Amino acid sequence: MSSSIDSTFRKILFSYMELGEKKLFKTSLKEFKIDKHVHLYYSKRRNIPICALPRLKLVLSSRSGFVSFCYNFYTFANAYNYNISINTASIKSIAKFVISHEVGHILDPEIYQTRSQYSQILSNIIDLLLKYDIDVTNADFYKSNLPIDLEDAVLDLKKNLIDRESKAWDIAKGFVTFEDAKEEYIFNKMKEYALATYNFGTIKNIVREHNLDVFFKYKRYFA
């Protein structure tokens, strides 16, 4: 890790710790005007990416997961000159909006249907990878040089994820209170960043990011 990256991580971490870490998330949850009681599981030691378990009305988070998200978001914002400074104010806003987005998933009445479609799409992708005997460790397979039906399946996956995430952000915007225009600006840029992450590159990346390697090996073994 270079000194500049290390310095950025430290700045984010110290600001986050100054804000109280878990207390920051709990405060945000209490401020949301929603009709469900949402629980929070937080870990200082385990690396848990921020995510929601809608059936349990539970949001999972961790110190490393949140700090990593902040670093990636600030890097994205800096690349597009969005002028979002690393300080306690912006980190407080990021924490509030990250949690609100996950609560948005919990409040989404179509989340189970969307996830069922997601599972079906992944199963279809695995079947097509086996059909065409594609080497999933090869980083040279992009959407543009895939068989048509596999390319369509990849596009279906992208659309499913973007629709699901976009709806969660829209639901969140309905119950979040913005302190000022700057906070709303950060919210909109976070949504932009989150949706941009679904612009897939290679099949290898898709397999890794969706843990398809396990299912791929299972289906091939029992074929």
The Cα angle at residue 39 between residues 161 and 72, in degrees rounded to 5: 45
The tens digit of pLDDT for each residue in 137-172 reads: 776 666 567 899 998 999 999 999 999 999 999 999
pLDDT band for 222, please (50, 70, 90 cuts): very low
CB atoms within 10 A of CB 128: 18
Q: Which of 27, 62, 163, 39 is nearest to 108 (CA)?
A: 163
Domain spans in the chain, listed from the N-terminal domain onward: 3-107, 111-222
Query: pTM, whole model, 2 decimals?
Result: 0.90
Give the C-alpha separation, 64 to 67, whole Å.
5
pLDDT band for 220, please (50, 70, 90 cuts): low
Q: Are 57 and 106 in contact (CB under 8 A)?
A: yes
The tens digit of pLDDT for each residue in 20-69 reads: 999 999 999 999 999 889 999 999 999 999 999 999 999 999 999 999 99
Q: What is the pLDDT of residue 52?
A: 96
